Every structure is written in structure tokens, then in C-alpha cells.
């Protein structure tokens, strides 16, 4: 057997990205002050330059519309940012300005807006300040004014107040940028659906139109024959190459059958071509099959290739679970992985919820080298083959699901916990022991009452605030489970 390292894993799998988050930035202050206090505008522009530099250090494309001093200039900046098709507009209130300078930007861009008012230092030097120096600390003054006008204009209001080099304020700012990355990832996503719903899973059934109307995503309907013709075209040399890649990424258990391993590798190459040909960001699949026919074998041969794709940032999930593929894509956009997960059992001795799944997993969040195990039967499904097994990295995690309500609207649901060490089943599942800081039975009751279905994404880190911010940007209700 071979054993992989995290370095080998990352070197073997090329990350997939659609485009960077695009942030529009504009700074402003009331032009009436400039002739009255000649030193004020240069100081404010220095602050604006610092803010621009901080944004350029983020993993985002920054469109800087400059500094505006009145409503006409603000309107021109808004038009520039509208054309740039930004995912988030950030307006730096450097000093007092009128709400008439902010409203046109929000209206013209029709993009989520974040106001930031960061004064130069922690506090004024009162003994040595005159009116001009005080005005550099007056960015908070218009925040209630703008909030009032936004509310009257039915524009969601969000702001970060602080001082220029306050790292806790920058953490909050960056959270909104990360949330915009999630929103942009979903807005530009192309989700594939291949096969049919797992019979009887009513919670998994999703209104496809609302996926597009809510997130802006495209849904591509596929047949298993779309995969079949691509698998048929895979050469033996390509199969050997994919098997070698799998040996570098996985530890191969002695239970792995050579023929099943080769078939999983062949399907994996075909899956890569399917994803590329249809330009997909995610894929949800299921096919029941019958009597060992080819479509059944295809469905049973998906887990190796699906896990490799998921590790690259293209969630590929079983049981036709479109909403969980969306949750996994959102988790990956945050850099938090996101593995296909459901409840497996409760351990009342150790106070943990055991969760995981017998299918595609996000390899990048494995606690160690992921294992490839041979299975003679996939529980609840037809077929046999190889499956992925590992424990998620020990430490803070967030479970994140996307529920759909009776009126068709969506809800983001999250709960933060900690993956802890302990005994795990060795059955080809990605099982983890999650401590939510409460009785595991009470957690299940609270989680189940939120409206999420029985699958979700398991993401690394405590990310509830990030998902909450993303929900805000997309106009989606957010619910967090935290049992005391």
C-alpha cells in the first residue's frame, strides 16, 4: 500500500476556479469642506489609498472608482462600477457626506453595498485638534443618515465602523468580501443534474427554476448516456495514468479489487470530460440501475472520480443532491472544503454526533491520507466497487445546509462544532465525530427543525458568520443552531 501526504494531494489536483471576486471601491467626503480646510482632503485621500492597498491584498479583483466630493461625481462613480459588474460595492465614508452621494451608487449598480467608516486612529488628540482635524474622524456621522435612506429605499444596509488599522474591523470587512465570493460563485455556477431522484427522498427534491431565480445559477440536465459515451472513449493508457494518480492521492486498502479500481479510474476520466464538455461547476447524480447493466455500473463507479473532482472545487455528489452540491460549492468558495455529509449515529458516551457518507468526499479536508476501500455492496444502492474513507481534520468545523421552504424560498442553515478523535467505522465512509457542545440528541432535534434536508456540507473552521453574511448578500434567510 502507499500513503499520501497533503502536499502530494494538492500537487496532484489542479484547483478549478471560475473567476475572482470583483469588488468595487469608492471613497467620498463632502466637497464643501475642501476650501474651508485645505489640509483635510489630502489626509482623507491618504486614508483612501491605505484602504485601496488593503483591498488589493485580498484574493479579489478591485475596481477603484476614486474619490467623490458631490452627488454628480458619485453618479459617475456608480456608472463606472455598474459597468464593471462587481459582486460587492464598498463605499468608504472618509468624513461626513450627504446620503445623496451614496444612494445613487447603490441604485445605479444594483449590487450589495458595504459602508466602511474607518477613522485614522483609535481616538482624537483633543488638546491639539481643530475643526479640520476633527472632520477626518467624522466618517461615523453619516452612517445613521445613510441607513435611514437605504431603509426607505428598500436597500439592505450593512456597515463596518472602526479605525483605519483596527484588525478586528478588517476581519469584519474581509468577511463581507468572502461572502461576496460565495454569492459570485453561485451566481456564475453551472450545476449539472444527471440521472434521477433517489426514489422516495422527498426532501432532496428541488425546484430547479428557483435555483436560477434565487442564485442566478444555470442548471444543465444530463443523461447517464452523456457519461457513457465519454467513458467508452477512455483509453487503457488513460486508465493506467488515472490509477497512478489515485495511488498518489489515496492509501489503497487490501480490499480494493483491481478490476473495480480500474473501472473507477475509467469512469473518473470520463467524468472529467463530462465536466469539461458541459463547463460544469458541480454535478449531482443518481441512477438505480438493474441487473448489473452498464448504467448501474457507471453509477457504482463514480466515487473515485467524484472525490477527485470535489477536491478540485467541483462538488460531485450522489443521490441527486443538488442543494447539497450548492452548499459544498459555497463552502469551497470560502476555502473551507465542504464534504458530503449526513447523520450516521449518536454517541451519548462521548457526546458526539457521528456523521459522514459513503460517497464523494472533499479530500483536502482529510485528517490524513484518505483511504480507498473496496466494497462488495453500497448500502441502499445497487452495484459495488471502491469508496473513499477518511476522518475530517480534527478541530473546528461548520455544518452547512441549504433548505427549501413551503413557498419555494431557500434558507441557509449552519451549526458550529468540533471534530474530535475517537473510534470510527471502517466501512468506506467519510465518518467524523462532531462535538456540538451539547447533548447530541438535542442537537439533532434542533438541527432537524431548521428546514434543511438530510444531507449537508461539512466545512472546516467556524464559518457561521461567513454563511450568514453570504445569506444577507443574496437575500436568503439564515438560521444557526447553537444548543445551550
Residue 352 has pLDDT above 60, yes or no: yes
44 burial (CB, 10 Å; 0-12 / 13-18 / 19+) is buried
Residue 311 has pLDDT above 70, yes or no: yes
Report the pLDDT value the prediction gives residue 1, as an integer from 0 to 100.
30
pLDDT band with cut points at 50, 70 and 90 for residue 173: very high
Q: Could you tell me if 29 and 97 are in contact, meaning their C-beta atoms sit under 8 angstroms apart?
A: yes
Closest CA to 468 of 65, 109, 158, 60: 158
Q: What percent of the chain has pLDDT over 90?
A: 80
Residue 378 has pLDDT above 70, yes or no: no
397-427 pLDDT, tens per residue? 999 999 999 999 999 999 999 999 998 877 7
pLDDT band with cut points at 50, 70 and 90 for residue 369: confident
Report the pLDDT value the prediction gives residue 4, as an integer from 0 to 100.
35
> Cα–chain-centroid distance for residue 480?
16
Residue 81 has pLDDT above 60, yes or no: yes
Residue 290 has pLDDT above 90, yes or no: no
pLDDT band with cut points at 50, 70 and 90 for residue 3: very low
* DSSP states along 48-99: HHHHHHHHHTSSEEEEEEEEE-SHHHHHHHHHHHHHHT-SEEEEEE-S---G
Lowest mean pLDDT, pick from 104-113, 263-272, 294-303, 467-476: 294-303
Report the pLDDT value the prediction gives residue 360, as an integer from 0 to 100.
74
Residues 33-55 have a mean pLDDT of 97
Report the pLDDT value the prediction gives residue 7, as an integer from 0 to 100.
36
Residue 382 has pLDDT above 70, yes or no: no
Report the pLDDT value the prediction gives residue 387, as an integer from 0 to 100.
84
pLDDT band with cut points at 50, 70 and 90 for residue 113: very high
Residues facing 92 on adjacent strands? 27, 116
Q: How far apart are CA 37 and CA 14, in angstroms?
A: 54
Residue 345 has pLDDT above 60, yes or no: yes
Q: Could you tell me if 107 and 153 are in contact, meaning their C-beta atoms sit under 8 angstroms apart?
A: yes
**Mean pLDDT score across all residues of the chain:** 92
Residue 253 has pLDDT above 50, yes or no: yes
Closest CA to 295 of 225, 387, 192, 218: 225
Report the pLDDT value the prediction gives residue 392, as an integer from 0 to 100.
86
Residue 2 has pLDDT above 70, yes or no: no
Q: How far apart are CA 198 and CA 479, in angstroms?
A: 27
Residue 380 has pLDDT above 80, yes or no: no
Report the pLDDT value the prediction gives residue 390, as an integer from 0 to 100.
84
Give the phi and the psi of residue 35 in degrees, each rounded to 5. Answer: -70, -25
Q: How far apart are CA 242 and CA 349, in angstroms?
A: 42
| Helix, coil or strand: residue 119 | strand
Residues 185-204 have a mean pLDDT of 94
Domains plus CATH for the chain? Answer: 7-14+188-480 (3.20.14), 21-186 (3.40.50.10940)
Residues 258-271 have a mean pLDDT of 95
Residues facing 224 on adjacent strands? none
Return the C-alpha cell found at 13: 489536483
Return the C-alpha cell found at 436: 456540538
Residues 32-39 have a mean pLDDT of 97
> Cα–chain-centroid distance for residue 265?
28
Report the pLDDT value the prediction gives residue 5, as an integer from 0 to 100.
34
Lowest mean pLDDT, pick from 153-162, 181-190, 257-266, 374-383: 374-383
| Helix, coil or strand: residue 359 | coil
Q: What percent of the chain has pLDDT over 70?
A: 95
Closest CA to 342 of 322, 356, 324, 362: 356
214-234 pLDDT, tens per residue? 999 999 999 999 999 999 999
Q: Could you tell me if 382 and 294 are in contact, meaning their C-beta atoms sit under 8 angstroms apart?
A: no
CA distances from 483 to 195, 196, 353, 445, 456 (A): 38, 36, 13, 10, 19
Amino acid at each position: 500500500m502507499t500513503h499520501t501526504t497533503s502536499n502530494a494531494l494538492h500537487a496532484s489536483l489542479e484547483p478549478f476556479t471560475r473567476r475572482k471576486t470583483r469588488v468595487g471601491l469608492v471613497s467620498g467626503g463632502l466637497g464643501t469642506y475642501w476650501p474651508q480646510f485645505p489640509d483635510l482632503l489630502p489626509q482623507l485621500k491618504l486614508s483612501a489609498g491605505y484602504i485601496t492597498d488593503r483591498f488589493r491584498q485580498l484574493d479579489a479583483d478591485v475596481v477603484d472608482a476614486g474619490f467623490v466630493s458631490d452627488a454628480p461625481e458619485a453618479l459617475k462613480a456608480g456608472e463606472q462600477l455598474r459597468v464593471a459588474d462587481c459582486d460587492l460595492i464598498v463605499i468608504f465614508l472618509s468624513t461626513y457626506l450627504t446620503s445623496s452621494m451614496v444612494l445613487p451608487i447603490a441604485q445605479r449598480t444594483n449590487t450589495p453595498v458595504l459602508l466602511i467608516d474607518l477613522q485614522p486612529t483609535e481616538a482624537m488628540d483633543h488638546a491639539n485638534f481643530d475643526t479640520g482635524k476633527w472632520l477626518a474622524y467624522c466618517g461615523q456621522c453619516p452612517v445613521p443618515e445613510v441607513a435611514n435612506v437605504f431603509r426607505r429605499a428598500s436597500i439592505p444596509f450593512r456597515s463596518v465602523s472602526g479605525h483605519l488599522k483596527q484588525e478586528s474591523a478588517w476581519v469584519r470587512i474581509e468577511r463581507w468580501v468572502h461572502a461576496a465570493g460565495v454569492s459570485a460563485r453561485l451566481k456564475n455556477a453551472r450545476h449539472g443534474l444527471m440521472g434521477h431522484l433517489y426514489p422516495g427522498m422527498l426532501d432532496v427534491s428541488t425546484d430547479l427554476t428557483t435555483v436560477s431565480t434565487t442564485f442566478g445559477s444555470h442548471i444543465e440536465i444530463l443523461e447517464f448516456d452523456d457519461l457513457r459515451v465519454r467513458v467508452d472513449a477512455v483509453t487503457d493508457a488513460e486508465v493506467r495514468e488515472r490509477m497512478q494518480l489515485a495511488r498518489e492521492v489515496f492509501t489503497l486498502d487490501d480490499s480494493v479489487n483491481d478490476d473495480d479500481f480500474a473501472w473507477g479510474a475509467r469512469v473518473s476520466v470520463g467524468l472529467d470530460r463530462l465536466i469539461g464538455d458541459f463547463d460544469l461547476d458541480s454535478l449531482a447524480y443518481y441512477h438505480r440501475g438493474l441487473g448489473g447493466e452498464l448504467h448501474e455500473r457507471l453509477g457504482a463507479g463514480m466515487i473515485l472520480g467524484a472525490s477527485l473532482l470535489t477536491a478540485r472545487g467541483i462538488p460531485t455528489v450522489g443521490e441527486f443532491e443538488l442543494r447539497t452540491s450548492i452548499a459544498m460549492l459555497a463552502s469551497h468558495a470560502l476555502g473551507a472544503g465542504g464534504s458530503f455529509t449526513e447523520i450516521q449515529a449518536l454517541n451519548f458516551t462521548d457526546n458526539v454526533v457521528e456523521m459522514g457518507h459513503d460517497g464523494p468526499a472533499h479530500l483536502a479536508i482529510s485528517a490524513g491520507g484518505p483511504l480507498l476501500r473496496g466494497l462488495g455492496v453500497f448500502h441502499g444502492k445497487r452495484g459495488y466497487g471502491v469508496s473513499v474513507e477518511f476522518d475530517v481534520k480534527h478541530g473546528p468545523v461548520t455544518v452547512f445546509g441549504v433548505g427549501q421552504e413551503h413557498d419555494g424560498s431557500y434558507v441557509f442553515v449552519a451549526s458550529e462544532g468540533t471534530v474530535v478523535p475517537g473510534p470510527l467505522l471502517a466501512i468506506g465512509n467519510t465518518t467524523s465525530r462532531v462535538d456540538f457542545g451539547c447533548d447530541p440528541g438535542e442537537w439533532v432535534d434542533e438541527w432537524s427543525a431548521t428546514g434543511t434536508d438530510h444531507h449537508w456540507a461539512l466545512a472546516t473552521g467556524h464559518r457561521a458568520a461567513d454563511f450568514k453574511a453570504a445569506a444577507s448578500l443574496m437575500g436568503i434567510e439564515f438560521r444557526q443552531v447553537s444548543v445551550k
